[in-house]
Amino acid sequence: MAQHNKYSRRDVLKAGTAAVALPLFVSARVLGRDGNAPPSETVRVGVIGCGGRSRVITEAADVKGFQVVAACDCLLERAQKYVEELSGGKAWGVYDDFRAMIEKEQLDGVMIETTTHARAWIAVHAMQMGVDTYIEKPMCLTIAEGRDMVKAARKYKTVTQVGTQQRSMPINNWASDLVKNGALGKCKTVIGPNFVGPRRWTATSSADVKEPVAPWWDIWTNQAELRPHDNRLQYGWAEWWDYDGGGLCFGVTGWGTHSYDQINRALGTDDTGPVEVELLEPVAERDTGKFAPRETVGGVLIGDTGDIDTGTDYHGMAKLIGPRARMRLKFASGTELQLNMDGDRGPGLGAIFVCEQGKIEINRNKLASNPKDIVRSPDNPGPNTRPETAYHIENWVECIKSRETCTADIEIGQRSSSLCYLVNIVRDVGQVGKTLNWDPVAERFTNCDEANTMLSRPRRKGWELPALT
């Protein structure tokens, strides 16, 4: 492991004016935060986790003031390969310890692109060290640790952006505002996808660990039970309950986070959640099913969408068999969310909003409506003109400089992630036909103790979230 500097950023921030006597690994932005010094023109960023999704940085090539200077992965050779492929020959730092990277590289921000189960632990440590965070979605593994992340961000006054990038796309925001502002009257029903969920890993357990594991595997395992290394875990982690809530092809918490975040924005429920959740059928291994004709999706008349039909391209979402079940969620406003479209076809990155005066389907960078003229308005900004995540990273960079709140702030990310985990929890409890009451303020069920036991999980010793001191 790379060696730590003697002082952390947190030490420097606590030292106040005495910080000038400490090693110069603290960025000008952090040192100037309390003194309202003007931000640097360049935001120095380190990437944590060098897997496939971390390559999102290539979409930010045109973002002014965004500069990647280092990369970190628990597998050092993977970080090295990442830098070789993406740095363009620039002298990026290479690390297997993100804390050393933060301290030595004078970073303003980090992009946390690790597996889901490691994100909370890394994010809270980074916040304590004074850096701003871009956290891949879903931002956490449980509802409870998501709330802890929100508390940390508020305590340490860090700028946070959760990777639900549709929230920064002009066309998606335009359509969401139609629903939120009542342009189509009250939204009565939302039709969303019935995504597959995760499976339990049973092939091995901690009892099968016969010798010391490689240090990188211990780090990778993070809060989860320490099992022997298995490629099915390392590369297929999103399928398993201990590491993610998605299932095959990222399911509920992967694609689903985008869909549910889109729903929250359009309904204006960014700071709350449903009040009722009901499982409508037993969880079973189900196929995606045949995509219904455009006229009826989930039993709702959509009508002829003509040249703005969105029924063909859904970002390569897979046809697969997996554990799923239809569900009903209800918000305090009376709007009902029906997760009943089989599941990986249709607007899998959005939803269909059924309002008093029409219906609008919002997908990523695509819209359809009935009547058709709803989305043919001249003020429709049209499809993206830049890579989709560029808008989102740009917003984060701008907010790092201005200290304003990002469009997908951590509270917003928590609420979108919570919807995913409510789906998984209620499916796991399996009480078909029973309405479970959810208190979105306390973030607890009021009539199901079993469900409440799944709001958090025991964390492996040594990998507890740090105390907020």
Helix axes 251-267, 410-429, angle to 10 degrees: 120
Distance CA(362)–CA(348), nearest Å, equals 10
Give the least confident one: 191-195, 312-316, 343-347.
Answer: 312-316
Give yes or no for residue 291 having a pLDDT over 80. no
Distance CA(278)–CA(433), nearest Å, equals 6
Phi and psi angles of residue 125, each rounded to the nearest 5 degrees, phi first: -60, -45
195: Cα separation from own chain's centroid: 16
Name residues whose C-beta falls within 8 Å of residue 198's C-beta, 6 or more positions apart in sequence. Answer: 238, 239, 240, 241, 244, 245, 246, 247, 251, 252, 323, 424
Report pLDDT digits (tens) over 46-82. Answer: 999 999 999 999 999 999 999 999 999 999 999 999 9
Report pLDDT digits (tens) over 414-442. Answer: 999 999 999 999 999 999 999 999 999 99
Distance CA(215)–CA(156), nearest Å, equals 30
Distance CA(419)–CA(273), nearest Å, equals 7
Q: Tell me if the bond preceding 371 is cis, omega within 30° of 0.
A: yes
pLDDT at 165: 97
Give the least confident one: 337-346, 380-389, 396-405, 442-451.
Answer: 337-346
Give the least confident one: 52-56, 342-346, 379-383.
Answer: 342-346
Look up residue 228 and give its two tokens.
């022997």
pLDDT at 305: 42
Distance CA(9)–CA(6), nearest Å, equals 10
> 161 has which bridge partners?
134
Contact present, 315 and 349 (Cβ < 8 Å):
yes
Give yes or no for residue 33 having a pLDDT over 80. no
Give yes or no for residue 31 having a pLDDT over 60. no
Distance CA(223)–CA(460), nearest Å, equals 5
Phi and psi angles of residue 320, each rounded to the nearest 5 degrees, phi first: -155, 160
pLDDT at 17: 26
pLDDT at 5: 32
Distance CA(409)–CA(59), nearest Å, equals 20
pLDDT at 249: 82
pLDDT at 346: 64
Structure pTM?
Answer: 0.89
Sole residue written with tokens 């297997």: 96
Give yes or no for residue 328 having a pLDDT over 70. yes
Name residues whose C-beta falls within 8 Å of residue 236's C-beta, 6 or more positions apart in sequence. Answer: none
Which is higher by pLDDT, 77 or 25? 77
Report pLDDT digits (tens) over 153-165. Answer: 999 999 999 999 9
Give yes or no for residue 39 having a pLDDT over 90. no
Average pLDDT, the chain: 87
Report pLDDT digits (tens) over 177-200. Answer: 999 999 999 999 998 888 999 999
> 187 has which bridge partners?
355
Phi and psi angles of residue 300, each rounded to the nearest 5 degrees, phi first: -105, 130
137 CB burial (10 A radius; 0-12, 13-18, 19+): buried
Q: Residue 141: which pLDDT band, with cuts at 50, 70 and 90?
A: very high
Q: Residue 317: which pLDDT band, with cuts at 50, 70 and 90?
A: low
pLDDT at 426: 98
Q: Residue 453: which pLDDT band, with cuts at 50, 70 and 90?
A: very high
Give the least confident one: 71-80, 349-358, 448-457.
Answer: 349-358
Give yes or no for residue 1 having a pLDDT over 80. no
pLDDT at 452: 98
Above pLDDT 70, what percent of the chain?
84
Domains of the chain: 9-158 (3.40.50.720), 170-198+244-378+411-452 (3.30.360), 206-239 (no CATH)
Q: Residue 27: which pLDDT band, with cuts at 50, 70 and 90?
A: very low
Give yes or no for residue 3 having a pLDDT over 60. no
Q: Residue 316: which pLDDT band, with cuts at 50, 70 and 90?
A: low
Long-range contact set of residues 103-106: C-beta below 8 Å, sequence gap at least 24: 103/4, 103/5, 103/7, 103/8, 103/9, 103/25, 103/129, 104/5, 104/25, 105/25, 105/44, 105/46, 105/69, 105/70, 106/24, 106/25, 106/26, 106/27, 106/44
Name residues whose C-beta falls within 8 Å of residue 418's C-beta, 6 or more positions apart in sequence. Answer: 143, 146, 273, 443
